[in-house]
Amino acid sequence: MSDIAEYAGNLHKNEHSTHNRILKPVSVGALTEKIYDVRAVICDVYGTMINYWKPGFEDKKSRETMLLSAFKKIVDRFKIEQYLLEMSPSDPPEKTLSDLYNGLISLSHQNAAKRGVQYPEVRIEKVWELILMMLKRHGYQPEQHIKMAAGDIPRCFAFTYNFLSLGRQLYPGVVETLQQLKSNNIVLGILSNAQFYTPIDLTLMMRDQSNEKIDDYLELFEIDLTFYSYEYGFSKPNQLLFRRLFDALYEYNILPSQTIMLGNDLFIDIAPAKTAGMKTALFAGDEFSYFTHNEEEVVPDIVINQWSELPQRISFFTEGRSE
């Protein structure tokens, strides 16, 4: 196990908390009640499998306050207050850190756009690597506070900020539904805007939801059908990610028309999947994770409000054949 995986597991075990609330589904129109001749289901992660909402995310202002609070916890946990004050004496250290973080992401996106990259993605550990470089110039020595390989220290900062800033739990029924789909001969994959910590979190959360019966998320998903945006430098809805997926599906003798994209966002998930010739399933079981981006004219093939509905709404068989 790598240093960062061990660190993540310990943090999850000792400090992870859930935020229970009643999920409120959204009423969304669909083209049909059931999809037949399905060979593969490709899942989005955030807002579809992982419920990242937490109290304080209800509106933009309170969300910004919550995220600033997470930066304050990073400042305190890793003992970087005095170095941030040297950089910007007039600002609270957490604001300086937030400005650095968001500014570097914005700069990376701008540079990628100049190279013609549509919907660029960063490697978030590279952002923290640059922040650490600035802190070191002011005398910070991270190895005094973080006992792990030097190359994992930026990942440690990145994982910790994500851990502190977002909700981290699977929606009800995710693991059981995936297991049922797999037992029904459905091949499972992932196509998601994500970072290096996404597969780590999926494994930790699936262990929790399965009561340790699932040890690794790849017990359910095909690694050759798993695509994360950070690995490619661009994110959904960029069609290049879907082309990579189609090349992989070809090796399984599966057509795009036999593949369902399951997501929570009409613009990022559903619209590009339909353009690519895939069938689509919209997860609209949580008002805080359902997004339209003014794409109301995009109509998914099916809509589910609970994960447990999915196995009954799709079929491996062609329409009319006995199941």
Tell me: do 37 and 68 sit in the same domain.
no
> Is 247 part of a structural domain of the chain?
yes
Rounded distance, CA 65 to CA 245, Å? 38
> Is residue 200 within 8 Å of residue 182, measured between CB atoms?
no
> Is residue 270 within 8 Å of residue 242, measured between CB atoms?
no
pLDDT number for residue 55:
84
> Is residue 249 within 8 Å of residue 255, measured between CB atoms?
yes
Among 145, 165, 185, the domain boundary falls at 165
> Is residue 30 within 8 Å of residue 56, measured between CB atoms?
no
Long-range contacts of 306-309 (CB under 8 A, 24+ apart): 306/25, 306/172, 306/173, 307/171, 307/172, 307/173, 307/174, 307/176, 307/177, 307/283, 308/172, 308/173, 308/176, 308/177
pLDDT number for residue 320:
61
Helix (H) and strand (E) counts in the chain: 11, 8
Residues 6+ apart with CB under 8 A from 3: 148, 149, 152, 156
> Is 318 part of a structural domain of the chain?
no
The CATH number of whichever domain residue 260 belongs to comes to 3.40.50.1000
Among 114, 146, 165, the domain boundary falls at 165
> Is 158 part of a structural domain of the chain?
yes
- Mean pLDDT taken over the chain: 95
Among 165, 195, 224, the domain boundary falls at 165
> Is 323 part of a structural domain of the chain?
no
Tell me: do 45 and 181 sit in the same domain.
yes
- pLDDT by residue for the chain (323 residues), tens digit each? 588 999 999 999 999 988 888 999 999 999 999 999 999 999 999 999 999 998 888 888 999 999 999 999 999 999 999 999 999 999 999 999 999 999 999 999 999 999 999 999 999 999 999 999 999 999 999 999 899 999 999 999 999 999 999 999 999 999 999 999 999 999 999 999 999 999 999 999 999 999 999 999 999 999 999 999 999 999 999 999 999 999 999 999 999 999 999 999 999 999 999 999 999 999 999 999 999 876 568 999 999 999 999 999 999 999 765 55
Determine the structural domain holding residue 119 and report its residue range.
Answer: 60-165
Tell me: do 231 and 247 sit in the same domain.
yes
Rounded distance, CA 159 to CA 302, Å? 34
Rounded distance, CA 253 to CA 295, Å? 32
pLDDT tens-digit profile of 173-202? Answer: 999 999 999 999 999 999 999 999 999 999
Q: What angle do CA 267, 272, 274 make, to 5 degrees?
A: 110
pLDDT number for residue 296:
62
Tell me: do 144 and 283 sit in the same domain.
no
pLDDT tens-digit profile of 65-85? Answer: 999 999 999 999 999 999 999
pLDDT number for residue 321:
56
Instruction: State how far the alpha carbon of 108 is from the alpha carbons of 12, 15, 57, 152, in Å.
Output: 30, 32, 26, 21
Tokens of 214: 């699932």
Rounded distance, CA 266 to CA 279, Å? 13
> Is 156 part of a structural domain of the chain?
yes
Question: What's the 3-state SS for 169-218?
Answer: EECCCHHHHHHHHHHCCCEEEEEECCCCHHHHHHHHHHHHHCCCCCCCHH
Tell me: do 233 and 128 sit in the same domain.
no
> Is 118 part of a structural domain of the chain?
yes
